[in-house]
Every structure is written in structure tokens, then in C-alpha cells.
Copies of this chain bind each other. A is one copy, B any other.
Amino acid sequence: MSQLKGACVIGQSGGPTSVINASALGAIEAALDNAAITKVYGAANGIKGVLDDKLYIMDEEDREELKHLRFTPSSALGSCRYKLKDPDADDTDYKRILEIFQKYDVRYFFYNGGNDSMDTCNKISKFMLKNGYECRVMGIPKTIDNDLFGTDHCPGYGSAAKYIATSCMELYLDARVYDTGMVTILEIMGRHAGWLTAAAALAGDYAPDLIYLPEIDFNIERFLDDVEEIYKKNGKAIVAVSEGIHDHHGMFINEYASSGIEVARDSFGHAQLGGLASYLAGLCRHRTQAKVRGIEFSLLQRCASHIASKTDYDESYAAGRAAVENAVGGISDKMVGFKCSRDGGYRCEIELLSLDSVANTEKKVPREWINQAGNGMLKPYTDYALPLIAGETEQAKVNGLPRFAKLKKVVAR
């Protein structure tokens, strides 16, 4: 394959993770150091930056400052949730992207994101090919949801899982401090796939008593029976639920809450609406008469870089580098994936997957990794996930607080 010389664009898309900037750094450093790449641009807010002709010149950044990207959460270049239209229906955006690529002689496009972003990569790649513009396109996976098809796991998942498991351990001890009864409901992210909620099981001896994923239809009566049984036995019950749990009609339990079905009332007679956790907590209070707590893990799941997994960081960085190195080596139209083995120690290798096969397919937690009753995780899951949360990062600190990257963000003209 001939060497292709030209500029590259690196973009970030979708929701933040603790390590998406580690992937960006891997790609940026590899690109800056590669003679085939003449200029390194960062797209402001993902593909929108290309459409808006707003590209940051990464060559202008200080190399030492860039290194701080490794431990800076969220998307340093900015992100977007912009879905490109089907080019057969409307190719306006694609023509604009081609125009910008030509303007800056962009021959490499690296896009870091989840399902939708891989779809974006795929469509751009096919459009360029069809229009005879030579440009190598590589997807770099990123999603705390861990739902990308084809890869063993996704960068971002390990750190989110580590945050969730650690927080579950801490809350387990917190909930046991008094000798009075208590039911605690933890609401964890994951609308369609239960990977994040499953991570609660990694807390081992300190894991929630019950774990409910969206992979299995949720039945409120069965849930209340489960909670009551545990509570009667132990005087405490901790439950982890995915935000995406739904009944067998597909209606989210969250919607029960907001529509006021079976609204719980507190001891003052106040209606208890609000999020899923407080809704279920209210029902548990009604059933068990116990003191209850609803806790939503919220956005910190995806951005708590202070407790990121070293394995996740290292792999995310490696994925970014691999995208650039493979593209310069002649590869295009692929997503960087991981192929892992866990027998006799964890090993992870880069594997290139076709964008066609990855885009728009969701990977769920296998049924056989969930217990028969549908309220807990089995060993195959913990065997799978424990290596992904291993290792501590050495985030730079100033005055006891994280030191994040501060980029100049010089815009190309």
C-alpha cells in the first residue's frame, strides 16, 4: 500500500468518559510523530467542527501540556450528538465534509465514539470512496455503556465500572452503620444494556443483594418480594437497578414514576415522585416499613477520572495510537477493537473490525451471565470484568485536586 501524505482530523463524539481524552492523546501523539501526517487537527465538537470549519491546530499545543489529556475526563475537543443523514437521501453534509477535507488536505479521519459515531465513520468513508477522494477513516471506540459489537469491551467501561463497584462498596459499609433496618436503591446508567449495572457485582462481599438489568423484563411485585425476603433475613437490603429497566410491555419503570402510577407517599403524606431510585425506594418503604434511600449515581459514573482504571487508560491510549498507525500503514474503514483472553492471566490485543459490522449494533449482557431469577450476576461476568478495572492511575494533583489539561485551541483559518 502506498504511503498517503496529508493532514488528519481527530474528532470526539457522544457522551463523555473518564478516558476518551486518553484515546485522543494516543491518536494526537502518534499523528504528531508520524512523517506521513503533515498537520494534526482536532475537530471542535466532533463532526460539527468539520461542518462548521472549526478545527483546532494540535501542532500548536505544548507537548507537555497535551500529556495532561491522559487524566482529563470528558471530551477536551468538545463533542456532539449529530447523526448524519443517509447520503442517498441528502448528501449536503457529506459534500461539505469533502469540501473541508479538500481545503485542509485531510487524508486521515479518526473518530472517537460509540455506535452512532461508528455509523458516521462508515458513511463518511463510503462517501469519500464513492467520490474518488482518498481518505483513510478509522473509528476509535468509546462508551461507558460497553455495548459496541465485535470488540471484547469498550474504552471507558472499565473506569465507569470501577467507579460503580468502589462506590457500591463504600455505600455498603455506610448502610450498615446503624443497627436499624434500611433498604437502599442504587440507580445506575445504561438505558438498553446492563453492563454498568452489572459492575455493582464486582464489589464482591460488599455487592448489592439484588441487581436488575434491562436485559430482563422487570416485574415490580417480584422485585418487592425479593427485597422483602432479603430485608426480613438481614434487616438491610441494597439493590442496584439499571435506569433502563422496563416491564414486559417495554415501558420503562422510570415512566411509571413520572406518570404517577402507584405513587408512594412519605410519612408526611407528601407525594414522592422524582427519579427511578426514589420511586422504587418509596415502594419498598410501603412494603417493608423500613427506612429507605434512593441514590442516583448520576453523571459522575462517566467522568470520575480520579478513580479511573489503569487498564482502561492504557488500552484507551493504545487504541488511539493504533488507529493512526494502522491508517498510515494503509488500513481504512475499520474500528479499532480489543481481542482478549483471560485464561492464565488477562491479555488484550488490538483487532481491527469492519465499520459495517460494528455500526448500529448493540451488544447486551449475555443471559447466561445473569442468574436464573434475573436478580444477580454470575461468575462468568465477574471473570470477564475484573481485569478491566485493574490498576490505579497516577493523576497529577495540585493542592490535592486533579490537574487537568489546558489547551490553547488555536483555530485553523
Contact = CB atoms under 8 A, between A and B. Distances in A.
Contacts of A259: 270
By size class, the interface of chain A is 35 or more
Given A45-B179, A298-B295, A404 B169 contact: yes
Contact of A401 (B165, B296, B306, B311): B165
Contacts of A206: 404
Interface in A129-173: 162, 165-167, 169-171, 173
Contacts of A45: 178-179
A72 interface: yes
B177 A78 contact: yes
Contacts of A203: 401
Contacts of A278: 274-275
A293 B303 contact: no
A170 B274 contact: no
Contact of A79 (B178, B303, B309): B178
A171 B300 contact: yes
Nearest to A278: B274
Given A74-B176, A266-B258, A275-B274, A390 B400 contact: yes
A364 to B, nearest CB: 24
A236 interface: no
A374 interface: no
A204 interface: yes
